[in-house]
A and B are shown apart, each in its own frame.
Chain A
């Protein structure tokens, strides 16, 4: 690595590159989102919107056991989703990254193609496959393996599988992008030098994939926390996520400040995750 810090000119040059984009994000992301988050200390208007006075009641309201339970529950489900995605996404990305550039592109496209069919349609397809009168149960019944349908739908497991399905590319693509830069000669050399497959994985592939893994984990974890369609369709409305709380408070209770409070909680979880991510990936970069 070069000396850290960089020269003054390269810093100025950096600002020149980044400024237009940063201004765009400030106008259309930071200001709108922060103003939404600030609402958490305001009072709900009777018909949506917000009014003064400023108060902090929402934060004590949010500690009600009902909501704490939902938050913990959705953290568990989102973690399970992210871990499952990582377990099947990492080997897939690793496999793809070892292929020739042409096959890399073909497989990446093959993985993304199903996602060009609307997500609601795809989620409905799971309903058709998994329900008690659905294709899988009918098949198993016809071949005599079961006589009562296996209840697969409307459980937290169905939610985890459905969300893994929904967000898997968000895990695979960043890991692939990180892994692909690994000099293939490096791993081959390690292998030729007698290093075991596991050892080369642990000492070379995983550390190099780490920035991608962390990003993929966040990309899957956070929208899973915020998803409310999959819990409704595949979870039968019997599993509730933070996303449901945000949606219900904004649109159903028309209590924007309280919805903003949950959004703020989500944002805080996110900040913690991103801090861990940038800390770890910096260390990885330094070690590499």
Chain B
């Protein structure tokens, strides 16, 4: 049984190494005394001390997390309702393409298009406009991954649930959503990650007073990547690891109930 999975296990290990190699470099460079990424000048914790007082980085970081969380929630709701709807109406290729296309429109085209739209409807630029814009393409990602799965759910189970007198809500939460769970996880993770890292659309649709972290980093590129950014990357990594371990513990407790 296990023999069969050897090749895929080897590749998976390789992929993990491939993904973490540059991250290791980021962690290492966060301890670099030099402010120049390409030169190692010795070990230092100085950048860990200065980052807390770097107001632009800290406040833009908070904004970025806020935008990413709201975007993820909205995209999951909108994306899942669209997918369920399209599946129920047995929609053809047009509506499916229509709902997934924003995921793959060049970001600059979406960015300038949205900025023009907001300008025409006199909507002033702020984090709200960034969230709307991010929700547009994240929704498309959610639709794509959910649609890839929803077609295979046997509709007779939902019908049976309804026939047995379960309310529509109950059927949704007890039958449909659990079956969609892997897609929902994938969609949520994708939305959060894409939103957090997005620069071009955020630059164009954001108001001038609320820059997000990618905008701050991008404008700093003139000086290369500074160790403070590497420090932030390292801290984020640590926080997420801790978060995952905690979530897993909570999951264990929840399972045992």
Contacts and interface: CB of A to CB of B under 8 A. Distances in A.
Contacts of A124: 37, 224-225
A14 B110 contact: no
Interface in B80-95: 81-82, 84-91, 93, 95
Interface in B174-195: 179, 182-183, 185-186, 189-190, 193
A143 interface: no
Contacts of B152: 181, 285, 288
Contacts of B112: 36, 250, 256
Contact of B90 (A11, A107, A109): A11
The interface centre, meaning the residue of B141, B144, B189 with most chain A CB atoms within 10 A of its CB, is B144
The interface centre, meaning the residue of B186, B225, B251 with most chain A CB atoms within 10 A of its CB, is B186
A278 interface: yes
B9 to A, nearest CB: 6
Interface residues of B, number: 103
Given A21-B85, A117-B237, A35 B11 contact: no
Interface in B1-21: 1, 3-5, 7-9, 11-12, 14-16, 18-21
B197 interface: yes
Interface residues of A, number: 110
Interface string B217-257: 11001001100011011001100110010001001100000
Contact of A278 (B25, B97, B199): B97
B208 interface: no
Contacts of A29: 101-102, 105, 110, 136-137, 140
A243 to B, nearest CB: 6
A183 B92 CA distance: 27
B148 A281 contact: yes
Nearest to A274: B97
B101 A270 contact: yes
A91 B7 contact: yes
Interface string A1-20: 01011100011011111111
A193 interface: no
A176 interface: yes
B116 interface: yes
Contact of B109 (A36, A109, A117): A36
A285 to B, nearest CB: 5
Contacts of B20: 114
Interface in A229-266: 243, 246-247, 250-251, 256, 259-260, 263, 266
Contacts of A223: 104
Interface stretch (A52-60, A68-76, A98-106, A144-152): A98-106
A5 B88 CA distance: 10
A32 B117 contact: yes
A32 B12 contact: no
A92 B104 CA distance: 24
A202 B8 CA distance: 14
Interface in A153-184: 165, 168-170, 172-174, 176-178, 180-181
A189 to B, nearest CB: 12
A48 B173 CA distance: 50
Interface string A189-205: 00100000100100000
The interface centre, meaning the residue of A33, A117, A133 with most chain B CB atoms within 10 A of its CB, is A117
A247 B236 CA distance: 31
A142 interface: no
A14 B88 contact: yes
List the 3 closest pairs (A to B, CB-CB), nearest first: A18-B85, A14-B89, A32-B113
Given A28-B114, A29-B136, 4 more contacts: A5-B90, A91-B11, A92-B11, A267-B105
